[in-house]
Structure 1
Amino acid sequence: MSSRSESASGDTAPADSKDSLVTWALALAQLVSWGSVYYSFSLLVVPMEQSMGWSRTATNAALSVGLLVSGFAAYPIGRWIDHGLGRRVMAVGSVIAAAMLLLWADAQSLTLVFVAWIGLGIAMASTLYDPVFAVVTHRYPQSFRTKITLITLVGGFASTVFIPLTQLLVGSVGWRASLVVLAAANLAIALPIHVLAVRSSRTHDDSRQNHGEVKAANDEATRRALRTPTFWALAVCFTAYYATFAALTFHLVPLMVERGVSNAVLVTTMALIGPAQVAARAIWFTFGRTVHVSTVGIIIVTLFPLSTVILISAGHSAALLWLFALCYGAANGMMTILRGTIVQDLMWTEGYGAVSGMLSFPSNVAKGIAPIAAASIWSFTHGYRAVEWTVFLVSILSAIAFFVAVRVSRHTTTRAA
C-alpha cells in the first residue's frame, strides 16, 4: 500500500537521517504533551482541592469531561489526518493545550476548570499517541512499527520526567504557577516540533484525482471496520483496558496516601512506572520482530490483571508496590505499541486514522468516566479497596476480548485464504 519504498532511491542515507531526526523530534513532543497535560493532573488535584475547597469528585469530573471530549474528537481528527492535515491538527493542538493550561492556572471557579478541560480534551485528541501514530503510519508505511516503538520509548519517560518535575514545581511555586510553566513547555517545545517535523500525513505528490481515490478508500475502510467482528472485539479490549488504566493513573497517588505510604515510597513507585514502560518497549523493540504481535498482546493483557493483584495485596510494602509499578508500567508500555500496530496486523492500514479514531472513541469515553466512577466508588465505600477490585475485574474483561479478537481474526484470515 506504499507508493514508494524507503530504500528505493539513491539518497537513502540522507533520507534515513532526516526521517530519524523527525522521529526523535516527534518522540520529544510526545513526552512534553503527555507529561504536561495528562500526567500532571494527579499531582495538581490535591493542592488544588486544598486551596480552593473543591471536592475530589468535582475535580475528577472536570478531567472526565475532558477525556469524554477527547473521545468525541478522535474520529474527526483521525479522518483529517487521513486526508493530509496532520501538521495543522497537531500544531493547533499544542496551541490549544497551552491556552487551556493558562486558563486553568487563572481559574477561580470550577466552571473555568471545566472549560479548560474541554479544551484540553481537544488538545489531547490532537497531540497524543493516536494522531502521531496516524501521521507515522501514513508517512512511513514500510517502517511505521519501528518508528512507533521509538516514539513510545521516549514518550514512556513522560511520567518519570513530569511527575517529579510537577511535584517540585507545586512545592516551590504552587499549582497555579506550575500550570504556567507546563503551558510554556507546550509552546516552546511541542509546537515548533509539530510545525517543522509533521510535513503531512501523506506525500504531496498525489494528484487531485488520486487524493479523491485515497479519500474514498479511507471512507470505505471505516465502514468495513464496523462490519468486522475483530474491530468490535478490539474496541471492547481497549475500552476496558483504558478504563482501568485511567482509574489507576488518576487515583494511584490518593490511594497510596490513604494507605499511609511514605512520601519517598510513593514518589519512587510513581517514578518507576516510566522506566518500566520504556524497558518493556525496548525489549519489544529488540525481540518483538521475531514474535507475532498477537502473542505479545496476550502477554500484555495477562500482565495487567497480575499487576492489580499485586497492588491489592501490597499494603505498605515498598517492595510489592515497586513490583506493582514495574508490572503496571510494563503492561502499559507495551499496550501503547500494541494499540498503535494491532489494527494494521489484524485488519488493514487504509483509513487508519479514522479507524483508530473510532476505536479511541469508546476508550476515551471510558477514560472520562473511569476517574469520576472510581471517585464515586471511593466516596460510597469510604476507601479504595472496592476500586481496586473493580479495576481487576474489568482488566479480566479486557483480556478475554483480546483473545476473542485474535481468534476471530485468525479464523477470518484462514477462511479468506
Structure 2
Amino acid sequence: MGGRRSDPEDSGSGIYRWALVVALAAMVNVAYGAIFYSFSVLLGEGAAAAEFSRTTLSAALGMAVVVSGLLALLVGTVCDVAGPRRVFLAGAALGCCGLALFSRATADWQVIAVWALLIGPAMACTFYEPAYVAVDQWFEGPKGKALGVLTLVAGLSVAIFLPLTQWLVERGGWRNATLTLGLVMAAVIWTLALLVVRDRPRKEARMPRIDLKRTYGAMLAGLRHTNRAFWLICAAYTLGFTGTFAMLFHQVAYLQDLGFPAGQVAAAIGLTGLISLPGRFLFPALLDHIRPRPLVAAIFAILAASGLILVGAQEWWRVYLYVGLYGLVFGSVLPTRAAVMSHYFSGALYGRLMGLQATILALATAGGPFLAGLLRDATGTYTIPWLGAAALLLLAVPVILAVPQPARD
C-alpha cells in the first residue's frame, strides 16, 4: 500500500527517531490533558458546571468528538502528503484560541460553538492520529515498541492534568484555569513541533504545496484503496470501541447502582489508569514479534470477560477482579489498533486510511456510552446495557480473526 522511500537525506538516525517519539508523546499528553482530561474537573462543582448546565457542557464535548472524527480523513491526508508538523502547529493554535474563548463564554450557544468549531478541530490535529502517522513515516519495519512508548508517555496525561486542573481552578477559578491550559498547550506543542518534529512524507505521496483540489483528490485516493482487510478491521474495532467505551463511561454509575459506596468505587476505578500503564507498552511491543490478530482477539475477549465478571456483583473481590482485567488491557486498545493498521497498510496511504477509520470509530466512541445510557433509562437497570457491551466485545473476536493475512506474511 505504498513503497519504501529512498531519499538518503530521509534516512534519519535512531536517536532522532526516539527523540521524535518522546516529543510526539509529550504533545499528545498535553493536548489530551488540556482539552480532554481537564473536562472532568470543569464538570465539577465550583467550575464551569456552576455557570453552564452539565447537559450543555456534555453536548459541547460530544460535538467536539464528532467534529474531530469527521475531520480525521482530512488530517490524515495532510499528514500523508505534507507531514504532521503543520497539523500539530495548527491544532495547538486552534486549541489555545478555543480554550481562551471558552474561558470567556457567557451563553450556552457560545460554549457549543467554540467546542465544535475550534476545539473539535484541535482534537483532530493534536491527539493520537497525527502522531501515529509520524511514527509510520519515520520507522521502517515493526513499529510496536515506538507506538507503545508513545501511548505509555501520553497515557500519563490523566495523572498530570487532573490534579493540575483542580489546583488551577482552586487558585484562580475555572476561567483562568482554562485560559492557562490553553497557553500551556500552545507553548508546549509549538515548541516541540518547531524544534523536534521534521516532516517525512513518502515520495509517492508528497506534495510540494497543499491546495484544495489536490488534497481532495488525495483523500479520494485513500477511499479507493480500501479492501476486505480494512473493512474487517474497521468492523472489529467498531464493535470493540462501542463496548469498551460504554463500560468506561458507565462503570462508576453501574457499581453505584449495584450498591457499592461512591467514594470507594471512585478509588477502585481510579486504579485502572495505573494498571493500564504496562499494557500500553507491552501489548503493542508484542506485535513486533507475533501476528496481530490473535493478540487483538485476546484483548477484546479479556475486556468482555471483565465485564461479565461484574454483572450483578455484590462482592468487592469481583470489583477488583474487573478492575485488574479491564485495566490490564484497556490501555492497549488504541496503540494496538495503530500497530495492526501499520502491519497491513504502512505506507503512503496510512494517514488517510487511519483517518477514514477514525471517522467511523468516533461514532462508536460517542455511540457506545449514549446507547448504554439510553438502555439504562429505558430498563431502569444497567444489566442489559452491560451485557450488551460485553456481547459486542465478544463479537469483535471472530471478526478480527477473520481478517486475511497480508500477502507478505
With normalisation by structure 2, the TM-score equals 0.84
- Partner secondary structure for residue 108 of structure 1: coil
| Inter-partner Cα distance in structure 1 for 2:69 and 2:158 | 22
% identical aligned pairs: 22
Q: Is 1:368 aligned with 2:382? A: no
Judging changes above 3 Å, is the alpha-carbon distance between structure 1 residues 275 and 4 closer, same or farther for their aligned structure 2 residues? farther
Using the TM superposition, give the Cα deviation of residue 168 of structure 1 relative to its aligned residue in structure 2, in angstroms. 5.0
1:359 to 357, 360, 372: 357
- Look up the match of 2:241: 242
Deviates more, 1:172-181 or 1:33-42: 172-181
Corresponding residue number in structure 1 for 2:343? 345
Look up the match of 2:40: 42
Alignment correspondent of 1:330:
328
**2:107 aligned partner:** 109
1:2 paired with 2:4, answer yes
- SS of residue in 2 equivalent to 1:289: coil
How has the CA–CA distance of structure 1 residues 303 and 50 changed in structure 2, closer, same or farther, with 3 Å as cutoff? Answer: same
Question: Which sections of structure 2, spanning at least 5 residues, go unmatched?
Answer: none
1:347, distance to aligned residue in structure 2 (A): 4.3
Structure 1 pair 261–233 and aligned structure 2 pair: CA distance change class (3 A): same
Q: Distance in 1 between matches of 2:284 and 2:83?
A: 29
In structure 1, how many angstroms separate the alpha carbons of the residues matched to 2:352 and 2:38?
A: 28
User: Offset of 1:267 from its aligned partner?
Assistant: 4.2
Equivalent position amino acid for 1:2 in 2:
R
**Residue number in structure 2 paired with 1:200:** 199
State the 1:2 CA deviation: 2.7
Give the deviation of 1:256 after TM superposition: 4.8
Aligned to 1:321: 319
Letter in 1 for 2:195: L
Q: Residues 201 and 348 of structure 2 are in contact (CA less than 8 Å); yes or no, is this contact kept in structure 1?
A: no
Assess, with a 3 A threshold, how the Cα gap between structure 1 residues 207 and 328 changes in structure 2: closer, same or farther: closer
- Paired residue total: 403
Q: How high is the TM-score relative to the length of structure 1?
A: 0.82
- For 1:222 and 1:261, how far apart are their aligned partners in 2? 49
**CA deviation profile, 1:284-310 (whole Å, cap 9, x unmatched):** 366543322222111111111122223
Change beyond 3 A, Cα 1:291–1:386: same
- CA gap of 1:388–1:162, structure 2 versus 1, over 3 A, is farther
Q: 1:43 to 1:254 in 2, by over 3 A?
A: farther
The aligned counterpart of 1:99 is: 97
1:362 counterpart letter in structure 2: I
The one-letter code of the counterpart of 2:270 is A
Q: Are the counterparts in 2 of residues 219 and 351 from structure 1 also a CA contact under 8 Å?
A: no
CA separation of 1:208 and 1:117: change in aligned 2, threshold 3 A: closer
> Partners in 1 of 2:323 and 2:8 — Cα distance?
39
Q: How do residues 78-93 of structure 1 correspond to structure 2 at under 5 angstroms? A: 78-93=76-91
Q: What corresponds to 1:163 in structure 2?
A: 162
Map Cα deviations across residues 111-145 of structure 1 (whole Å, 9 max, x no partner): 22212321222111111111110122113334643
| Closer/same/farther in 2, CA of residues 53 and 290 from structure 1, 3 Å limit | closer
User: Within 1, Cα distance between the matches of 2:353 and 2:30?
Assistant: 26
Q: SS of the counterpart of 2:60?
A: helix
Q: Classify 1:243/1:95 alpha carbon distance in 2 versus 1 (closer, same or farther; 3 Å).
A: farther
After TM superposition, give the deviation of residue 38 of structure 1 in Å. Answer: 2.3
Distance 1:224 1:203, change over 3 A: closer
Q: 1:311 to 1:353 in 2, by over 3 A?
A: same
Distance (Å, rounded) in 2 between the aligned partners of 1:81 and 1:208? 11
User: Aligned AA for 1:222?
Assistant: G
- Quote the offset at 1:28 in angstroms: 1.4
Distance 1:6 1:157 in 2: 36
Whole-angstrom distance in 2 between the partners of 1:165 and 1:121: 22
Label 1:165 to 1:376 Cα distance change in 2 as closer, same or farther (>3 A).
Answer: farther
3-state SS, counterpart of residue 150 of structure 2: helix
Q: Distance in 2 between matches of 1:96 and 1:216?
A: 22
Aligned CA distance change for structure 1 residues 159 and 359 (closer, same or farther; 3 Å): same
**SS of equivalent to 2:82:** coil
Is contact 2:98–2:115 with CA below 8 Å preserved after alignment? yes
Q: Give the Å deviation of 1:161.
A: 2.9
Taking structure 1 as reference, are residues 161 and 382 closer, same or farther at Cα in structure 2, changes over 3 Å only?
farther
Tell me if structure 2 keeps the 8 A contact 1:35–1:162. yes
Cα distance in structure 1, aligned partners of 2:206 and 2:380: 62
Distance 1:232-1:50 versus aligned 2 partners, 3 A rule: same
Is contact 2:296–2:336 with CA below 8 Å preserved after alignment?
yes
Cα distance, 1:260 vs. partner? 6.0
Q: Does 1:74 align with 2:72?
A: yes
Which residue identity does 1:135 align to in structure 2?
A
Residue 332 of structure 2 aligns to a residue whose secondary structure is helix
- Structure 1's 141 and 413: CA in aligned 2 closer, same or farther, altered over 3 A? closer
Is 1:149 paired with 2:148?
yes
Query: Once structures 1 and 2 are overlaid, which stretch shifts more, 333-342 or 193-202?
Result: 193-202
1:134 corresponds in structure 2 to 133
Report the Cα offset of residue 393 of structure 1: 2.7
Structure 1 Cα separation of the partners of residues 312 and 262 of structure 2: 19
**Aligned counterparts of 2:246 and 2:363: Cα–Cα separation in 1:** 12
1:214-363 matches, cutoff 5 A? 222-226=222-226, 228-256=227-255, 261-262=260-261, 264-284=263-283, 287-315=286-314, 317=316, 319-363=317-361
CA distance in structure 1 between the partners assigned to 2:215 and 2:371 by the alignment: 39
Give 1:230 shift. Answer: 1.4
Whose helix fraction is larger, Structure 1's or Structure 2's? Answer: 1
Q: Distance in 1 between matches of 2:65 and 2:393?
A: 20
Residues 132 and 365 of structure 1: is their aligned pair in 2 closer, same or farther, counting only changes over 3 Å? same
